[in-house]
Chains A and B, each alone.
Chain A
Amino acid sequence: MASSGSGYDLSSSTFSPDGRIFQVEYASKAVENAGTALGLKCSNGVVLCVEKPLLNKMLLPSSSRRIHTIDSHSGVAITGFVSDGRQMVNRAREECSNYEETYGTKIPSKVLGERLASYVHYFTLHGSLRPFGTSALVASYDPETKQHSLQMVEPSGVAYTYYGCAAGKGRQPARTELEKLDVHKPETSIDVREGVKQLARIIHLLHEEGKDKPFELEMSWVCEESNWEHKGVPRDYIKEAVEWAKKDIEEEEEFESDEDEEMED
């Protein structure tokens, strides 16, 4: 062995001497290289958004979807290994239909998140399995309590409930931008229409033209307007939001460069 402590990253069934499971950390790394996925809990619904890199000019834009409908009232956005994510989506669908079959009511958001996390976690326990290289953002509505919620399931098998969350390449700056929106305070909460614009702005802000690959924006929501069903955001509105976002970013840049000039004087 090259050095002390190495050799502990071969299996997720072994802890390293300082208490880490390297295979799970590597799985998280797989997500960090993928397109940014954002989720935002607004006053009247939840919005999901994924930056899907267009790897090939001949690709049909609507193929290889990152946002999937799980049940009438819930949807999942995935980023990382897309094929791993599809496996999670299938499982989430199974959990939903199983729950409704047994109990006669829709699965509560928290239970769906927890059950999906348990499934992901199982793959971090066995030497013969590989952890998921995917993060999943779950947006759902509970007709029983009339509450909507946003959760994120990570490769380690944890699930947290968020006001706003991000995964993928641009997650760090995206989180700072999401925090600036102050949606966790009731008095500064925004509606889904504003949320769509803000998420489009964050994605475009983080995207570096020329350096990053061209991408397609996938957006969906579970909100009052969609009758609390998981639906794709109308194409026209995404277009409108993107136009607004680009203009807003441009104006901000101009403002900043003006300020710089003033400083020089």
Chain B
Amino acid sequence: MNQFAYHQQQMQAPMPMSYQHDGKSAETRNLKPGELSTGTTIMAIPFEGGVVLGADSRTSTGTYIANRVSDKLAQLHDHIWCCRSGSAADTQALTDYVRHYLSQLAIETGRAPTVKTAAHLMRRLCYENKDNLMAGVIIGGWDPVEKGSVYNIPLGGTCIKMPFAIGGSGSTYIYGLVDSMYSEGMTEEEAHTCVKKAISHAMARDGSSGGVIRTVVVKESGNAREYVPGNALPFGP
């Protein structure tokens, strides 16, 4: 045995003749049979004094669209919202838990919880149950400490504060587009337009994103929901 023994052993291992594809997309591969997936496009952009969150509305079981007008934006507290992607069941359960914890905390402290706290609670649930979950969420909202802020919690349960966030299967198609459209210190109007435009483009390319666009603008003064019908998407130059 010389010092290269390990390498030699590796090289002797038989190489696979061809890669076996299971016929499933990356989004649906980890789902249980019959589980609903929000093969999704979600995003959030903060602006001075608030944040805009947006999502498409497609929920699918494999190739079948189980719901074409679903709502992937969930309210966690007065000024804290969440975009869900991954398993519909898992993300619904997670948001229910976080909503419950936040309402308890608000009562104990006597003040509105921060977006950071909401993201931290979600991260704990996602990280500690990572083996049993398929959930990637974006949390955004307004609080007196950070004003508008966005936190991304992808599959493994990391929690990162971001200048903006995109997620879901459709997001891969629009990284370049959003990078070119985003700039620091966008106005509410600019951020809202950017979200609708980017999600339209993702919906056009991604087979598991589609339907309508749902958005919410979160500000200290309140939340404004809006939707863009599927025949009026701001697609194209």
Contacts and interface: CB of A to CB of B under 8 A. Distances in A.
B109 interface: yes
Contact of B121 (A103, A108, A114, A144): A103
Interface size range on A against B: 10 to 19
B222 interface: no
A103 B108 contact: no
A219 B110 CA distance: 31
A105 interface: yes
B120 A103 contact: yes
Contacts of B193: none
Given A104-B117, A105-B117, A110 B109 contact: yes
A111 interface: yes
Interface in B71-127: 105, 108-111, 113-114, 116-117, 119-121, 123-124
B121 A111 contact: no
A178 B220 CA distance: 41
Nearest to B117: A103
B145 interface: yes
B110 A110 contact: yes
B145 A102 contact: no
A104 B123 CA distance: 10
Contacts of B145: 144
Contact of B116 (A104, A114, A145): A104
Contacts of B105: 103
Interface string A74-111: 00000000000000000000000000001111001011
A207 B116 CA distance: 49
Best-buried of A102, A103, A110, A114 by chain B (most CB within 10 Å): A103
A222 B120 CA distance: 27
Interface in A130-186: 144-145
Contacts of B111: 108, 145
A105 B119 CA distance: 11
Interface string B172-210: 000000000000000000000000000000000000000
A146 to B, nearest CB: 10
A114 B108 CA distance: 9
Contacts of B123: 104
Contacts of B120: 102-105
A111 to B, nearest CB: 6
Interface string B114-147: 1011011101100000000000000000000100
Nearest to B159: A104
A143 to B, nearest CB: 9
B116 A105 contact: yes
Contacts of A105: 114, 116-117, 120
A132 to B, nearest CB: 23
A108 B109 contact: yes
Contacts of A145: 111
B237 to A, nearest CB: 42
A111 B109 contact: yes
Contacts of B109: 108, 110-111
A145 to B, nearest CB: 8
Nearest to B113: A103
Contacts of B124: 102
A103 B101 CA distance: 10
A103 B119 CA distance: 9
A188 to B, nearest CB: 28
Contacts of A102: 120-121, 124
A144 B108 contact: no
Nearest to A107: B109
Contacts of A111: 108-109
Sorted from nearest, which 9 A-B pairs have the closest CB atoms? A104-B120, A103-B117, A108-B109, A105-B117, A104-B116, A144-B145, A104-B117, A111-B109, A103-B120
28 contacts: A102-B120, A102-B121, A102-B124, A103-B105, A103-B113, A103-B117, A103-B120, A103-B121, A104-B116, A104-B117, A104-B119, A104-B120, A104-B121, A104-B123, A105-B114, A105-B116, A105-B117, A105-B120, A108-B109, A108-B111, A110-B109, A110-B110, A111-B108, A111-B109, A114-B108, A144-B114, A144-B145, A145-B111
Interface of A: 102-105, 108, 110-111, 114, 144-145
Given A102-B121, A110-B109, 16 more contacts: A102-B120, A102-B124, A103-B105, A103-B113, A103-B120, A103-B121, A104-B116, A104-B120, A104-B121, A105-B114, A105-B116, A105-B117, A108-B111, A111-B108, A114-B108, A144-B114
